[in-house]
C-alpha cells in the first residue's frame, strides 16, 4: 500500500473499508486504502487502460469505467472529486451489473441449452433472451429466413410487442461481426434509436436484432460480436444434429458407438432406434448395459464374432456377418465398425448394424444354382466325351475305308459318279471325325482332364508346315499368304500349338475371299505372340466377345454362307489358356480380323 505523507489529512482514512485513493496532479497515486489496493492490485499490473482512466479523472472527468485488472469479467466504476491545487480523490467500486459478467452468464446459459440437442426454434428463442439481457438492450428479436428477407420467430422481453414481423436486412460483409441497422422502418418497428444485427448464418439463415435508446459502446460491440459468434456456432451444431437425426431416422441400418472396458465387455455410448428392429433389444437397455446383441449370436458364429471384437479392441477396423436369435427366429446381421478417438482422446468404436438375411438367402440360392449348373455341365461334358469315344471308332473306320475306296476308284475305269460318291463319303467322314475330335477335346478341357506337355516349341518350322497345308487352296482363290520367318520358341505342347495355329489359319482361309492372310511372331518379355491377320469379312463388334463360345459363330443365321460348328475357336482358346497363355481377337466388320495367340516364351 502506498503511504501518504504524514501531513496529508487523509492519512487517518487508511484503514477505512471504502476503496479510496488520492491522485496527484500527474495521475499518480499519492495515497490509497487497503480496499483500493485489493480491487486494483499492484500498479505494475494495471496496464494502459487503467492509467488512461486515472488520467481522465485528474483532467477533470467525474467518472470512468474500466476492466478490473486480472478480472476480465468485471468492470470497475471510478468516481472522482477534484482537489484544490490539482489531483483528485477517487472512489472505486465493482460495477453493479458489469458487461463481462452478463456476457459470461449468457454464454453459460446458451451452452447449457445446446448440450442436450436443442431444436432450432428453442435455440433462437434463448438467443433473443440472453443476448438482449447481456447487451442491456430494450428489445431483442430473433428472425429466420432467406438471404435478405427474414420473419420473426422470437421476441424479448416476452411482453414486448415490436412491429418488426418481417424485415429486409442488408447482408453483412461476411465477417460474422455485428453490424448497425440504420433502416428507418426497422428502427421504427423496434421502437429503438439504435440497433445491432448479429448474423447467425447456417443452412437456414437467421438474425438476432437488438435495439435500445442509447448508442453502443465499443466494449458492447465487442461483446455482441462474441455472442453472435457463439450463437452462430451453436446454430450450426444444432442444424447438423437436426440433419443427423433426420438422416438416422431414414436409415434401415442401426448406428452405434461402443467402447470396451478392461475385461473386454462392451459399453455402448450411442445406439440408434433401428437397433430394436434388428435385434429385438431396447436401445435404452443396451445403453444402460442391461442388454447386448453379442449375447444373441448363435453358437456356431460365436468364434467369428469374438475374433471380430478382438480386432476392434486392437484398434483395427473389422466386419463380420453372424446369425442372431431374434424373437425365436434366426436373422443374419452384419456388424461393420472402425475404432477411433473421441473428443476426449479415449478409444471409441463407431459402427453400423445391418440386416443381411436376404443377401445370405440369395447367396445360398446362387450357390445351389451354381452347383446344379456345374453338375449339369459335368453331365453334358461326360455325355459328349462318351459319345465322342463311341463315335470316333466307327467314324475312323468309315474314313479309312473312304480313303481306300477313293484310291481304288482312281485306278478303275469307273463312271465319274463313282469318284464323286467316294469323294463325298471321304469329305463327310473327315468333317464328322473333326467334329467328334473337337467335342472330345472340349469335354476334356472343360473338366480339366486333358494332359498337356510343356516343352520348347520352335515356332518357325511349325508355322511353315501349317501354312504349307493351306497355301494351295489360298493360291487357287488368289489370296496371298505371308508367313514371316522367326526363330522364336515357346514353352508349350507342340501338338496343341499346331492345333491352335491350324484352327486360326483355317478360319482366316475360310473367311477371306480376296486380299491376304499374314502370320507374324512377336517376342515381348516373357511371352511370344503369334498373330494371324486376314482381310476377310470380319466380325461385328457386338459379336466379337462370343466367337470363343462353343457352337457360336459371327454369322448365326440359319442359311449362312460359311459352314462350321463354332467349336474350333472355343477349343483353341481353352487350349491356349491351359498352356499358360491366351487367345484374343480384334476385328472390323468388312475389313478383316486379327487373332493373337500368346504363349510362354522359351528363354533357353
**Per-residue pLDDT band at 8 (split at 50, 70, 90):** very low
CB-CB neighbours of 213 under 10 Å: 10
Q: Does pLDDT of 583 surpass 50?
A: yes
Which strands sit side by side in the sheet containing 480-483, from one edge to the other? 480-483, 516-524, 527-534, 592-600, 582-588
Fold of 253-355: Beta-Lactamase (3.30.450)
**Rounded mean pLDDT, 234-240:** 77
Read off the pLDDT of residues 324-376 as tens digits, 9 standing for 90 and up. Answer: 998 888 999 999 999 987 666 677 888 889 888 888 888 888 888 888 877 87
Average pLDDT (98-122) is 78
pLDDT confidence of residue 7: 40
More confident residue, 161 or 519: 519
**Location of each CATH 3.30.450.40 domain in the chain:** 100-248
Over residues 69-96, mean pLDDT:
82
What contacts 127, CB < 8 A, 6 or more positions away?
Answer: 110, 142, 154, 200, 208, 231
Q: Is the pLDDT of residue 484 over 60?
A: yes
Question: Looking at per-residue confidence, does 37 or 71 come out higher?
Answer: 37
Into which CATH architecture does domain 362-446 fall? Orthogonal Bundle (1.10)
The whole-number pLDDT of residue 584 equals 92
The better pLDDT of the pair 560, 488 is held by 488
Residues 14-32 have a mean pLDDT of: 80
Task: Provide the pLDDT for residue 445.
Answer: 63
Average pLDDT rounded to a whole number, residues 179-196: 85
The pLDDT tens digits for 256-309 are 989 988 888 999 988 888 888 889 999 899 999 999 999 999 999 999 999 999
* Res. 2: pLDDT tops 80: no
Three cell numbers written together for 354:
445391418
> Measured between alpha carbons, how far is 181 from 185 in angstroms, rounded to an integer?
10
DSSP state letters, 187-233: HHHHT-SEEEEEE--SSS-EEEEEEESSPPPHHHHHHHHHHHHHHHH
pLDDT over 60 (residue 173): no
Which grid cell is 506?
A: 483355317
164 half-sphere exposure, CB direction, 13 A CA radius: 36
Cα(173)–Cα(184) distance, integer angstroms? 21
| CATH number given to 9-95 | 3.30.450.20
Pairing outcome for strands 166-167 and 150-156 = antiparallel
DSSP 428-481: HHHHHHHHHHHHHHHHHHHTT------EEEEHHHHHHHHHHHHHHHHHHTT-EE
CA distance 178 to 175: 9
DSSP 129: H
Residue 251 has pLDDT above 70, yes or no: no
Handedness of CA 544, 547, 548, 552 (dihedral sign): positive
- What pLDDT is attached to residue 437? 67
Work out the pLDDT band at 531, boundaries 50, 70, 90.
very high
Residue 59 is placed in which grid cell? 483532467
Span 101-129, mean pLDDT? 81
Q: Quick: pLDDT tens for 36-68.
A: 888 888 888 888 888 888 888 888 888 887 888
Q: What is the pLDDT of residue 332?
A: 93
CATH 1.10.287.130 segments of the chain: 362-446
224/2: higher pLDDT: 224
576 Cβ contact partners less than 8 Å away, ≥ 6 residues apart: 500, 582, 583, 597, 598, 599
* pLDDT tens column, 392-450: 667 666 767 777 777 776 666 667 776 777 777 766 766 666 666 666 666 666 666 67
Nearest alpha carbon to residue 595 among 474, 485, 506: 506
Give residue 346's pLDDT.
74
d(CA 1, CA 24): 16
Higher per-residue confidence, 174 vs 123:
123
Q: Where in the chain is the domain with CATH 3.30.450.20?
A: 9-95, 253-355
Residue 6 has pLDDT above 50, yes or no: no
What pLDDT shows up at residue 215?
Answer: 87
Distance CA 54, CA 136 (A): 26
Distance CA(262)–CA(362), nearest Å, equals: 40
Alpha carbon distance 537, 592 (integer Å):
6
- More confident: 484 or 13: 484
Average pLDDT (572-597) is: 90
Instruction: Report residue 7 as a C-alpha cell.
Output: 501531513
Per residue in 323-332, pLDDT (tens digit) is 999 888 899 9
Tell which CATH architecture fits domain 100-248: 2-Layer Sandwich (3.30)
Radius of gyration of the chain (CA): 48
Mean pLDDT to the nearest integer, 210-220: 86
Mean pLDDT of the chain: 81
Is the C-alpha dihedral spanning 453, 458, 459, 463 positive or negative?
Answer: negative
Q: What's the CATH architecture for 455-600?
A: 2-Layer Sandwich (3.30)
Q: For the chain, give the percent of residues with pLDDT over 70.
A: 79
Comparing 93-97, 245-249, 499-503, which segment has the lowest mean pLDDT?
Answer: 245-249
DSSP character for 593? E
Closest alpha carbon to 123 in 211, 238, 244, 240: 238
Q: Average of pLDDT values for 75-92?
A: 86
User: Tens of pLDDT along 121-147?
Assistant: 788 888 888 888 888 888 888 888 765
Amino acid at each position: 500500500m502506498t503511504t501518504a505523507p504524514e501531513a496529508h489529512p487523509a492519512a487517518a482514512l487508511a484503514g477505512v473499508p471504502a476503496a479510496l485513493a488520492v491522485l496527484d496532479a500527474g495521475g499518480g497515486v499519492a495515497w490509497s486504502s487497503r480496499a483500493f489496493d485489493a480491487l486494483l492490485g499492484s500498479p505494475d499490473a494495471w496496464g494502459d487502460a487503467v492509467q488512461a482512466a486515472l488520467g481522465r479523472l485528474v483532467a477533470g472527468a467525474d467518472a470512468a469505467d474500466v476492466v478490473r485488472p486480472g478480472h476480465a469479467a468485471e468492470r470497475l466504476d471510478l468516481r472522482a472529486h477534484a482537489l484544490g491545487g490539482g489531483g483528485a480523490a477517487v472512489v472505486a467500486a465493482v460495477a453493479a451489473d458489469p458487461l463481462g459478467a452478463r456476457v459470461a452468464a449468457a454464454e453459460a446459459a446458451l451452452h447449457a441449452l445446446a448440450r442436450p440437442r436443442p431444436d432450432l426454434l428453442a435455440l433462437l428463442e434463448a438467443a433473443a433472451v440472453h443476448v438482449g439481457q447481456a447487451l442491456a438492450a430494450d428489445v431483442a428479436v430473433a428472425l429466420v429466413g432467406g438471404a435478405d428477407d427474414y420473419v420473426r420467430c422470437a421476441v424479448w422481453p416476452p411482453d414486448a410487442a415490436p412491429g418488426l414481423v418481417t424485415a429486409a436486412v442488408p447482408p453483412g460483409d461476411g465477417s460474422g461481426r455485428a453490424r448497425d441497422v440504420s433502416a428507418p422502418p426497422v428502427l421504427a418497428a423496434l421502437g429503438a434509436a439504435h440497433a445491432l444485427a448479429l448474423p447467425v448464418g447456417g443452412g437456414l439463415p437467421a438474425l438476432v436484432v437488438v435495439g435500445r435508446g442509447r448508442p453502443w459502446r465499443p466494449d458492447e460491440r465487442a461483446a455482441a460480436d462474441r455472442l453472435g459468434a457463439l450463437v452462430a456456432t451453436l446454430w450450426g451444431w444444432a442444424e447438423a444434429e437436426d440433419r443427423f437425426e433426420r438422416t438416422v431416422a431414414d436409415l434401415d441400418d442401426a448406428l452405434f458407438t461402443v467402447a470396451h472396458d478392461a475385461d473386454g465387455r462392451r459399453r455402448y455410448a450411442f445406439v440408434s432406434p433401428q437397433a430394436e428392429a434388428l435385434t429385438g433389444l431396447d436401445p435404452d437397455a443396451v445403453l444402460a448395459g442391461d442388454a447386448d446383441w453379442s449375447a444373441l449370436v448363435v453358437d456356431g458364429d460365436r468364434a467369428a464374432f469374438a475374433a471380430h471384437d478382438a480386432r476392434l479392441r486392437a484398434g483395427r477396423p473389422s466386419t463380420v456377418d453372424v446369425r442372431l436369435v431374434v424373437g425365436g427366429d434366426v436373422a443374419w446381421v452384419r456388424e461393420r465398425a472402425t475404432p477411433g478417438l473421441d473428443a476426449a482422446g479415449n478409444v471409441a468404436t463407431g459402427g453400423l448394424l445391418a440386416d443381411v438375411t436376404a443377401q445370405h438367402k440369395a447367396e445360398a440360392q446362387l450357390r445351389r444354382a451354381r452347383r446344379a449348373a456345374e453338375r449339369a455341365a459335368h453331365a453334358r461334358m461326360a455325355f459328349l466325351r462318351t459319345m465322342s469315344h463311341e463315335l470316333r471308332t466307327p467314324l475312323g473306320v468309315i474314313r479309312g475305308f473312304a480313303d481306300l475306296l477313293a484310291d481304288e476308284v482312281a485306278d478303275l475305269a469307273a463312271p465319274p459318279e463313282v469318284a464323286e460318291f467316294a469323294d463325298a463319303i471321304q469329305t463327310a467322314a473327315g468333317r464328322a471325325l473333326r467334329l467328334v475330335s473337337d467335342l472330345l477335346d472340349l469335354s476334356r478341357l472343360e473338366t480339366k482332364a486333358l494332359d498337356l506337355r510343356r516343352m520348347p516349341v520352335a515356332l518357325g518350322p511349325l508355322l511353315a508346315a501349317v501354312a504349307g497345308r493351306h497355301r494351295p487352296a489360298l493360291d487357287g482363290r488368289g489370296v496371298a499368304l505371308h508367313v514371316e520367318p522367326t526363330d522364336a520358341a515357346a514353352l508349350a505342347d507342340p501338338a496343341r500349338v499346331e492345333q491352335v495355329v491350324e484352327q486360326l489359319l483355317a478360319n482366316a482361309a475360310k473367311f477371306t475371299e480376296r486380299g491376304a492372310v499374314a502370320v507374324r511372331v512377336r517376342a515381348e518379355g516373357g511371352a511370344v505372340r503369334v498373330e494371324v491377320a486376314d482381310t476377310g469379312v470380319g466380325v461385328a463388334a457386338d459379336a466379337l466377345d462370343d466367337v470363343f463360345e462353343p457352337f457360336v459363330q459371327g454369322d448365326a443365321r440359319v442359311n449362312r454362307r460359311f459352314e462350321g460348328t463354332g467349336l474350333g475357336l472355343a477349343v483353341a482358346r481353352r487350349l491356349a489358356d491351359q498352356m499358360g497363355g491366351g487367345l484374343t481377337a480384334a476385328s472390323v466388320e468388312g475389313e478383316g480380323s486379327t487373332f493373337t495367340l500368346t504363349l510362354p516364351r522359351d528363354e533357353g
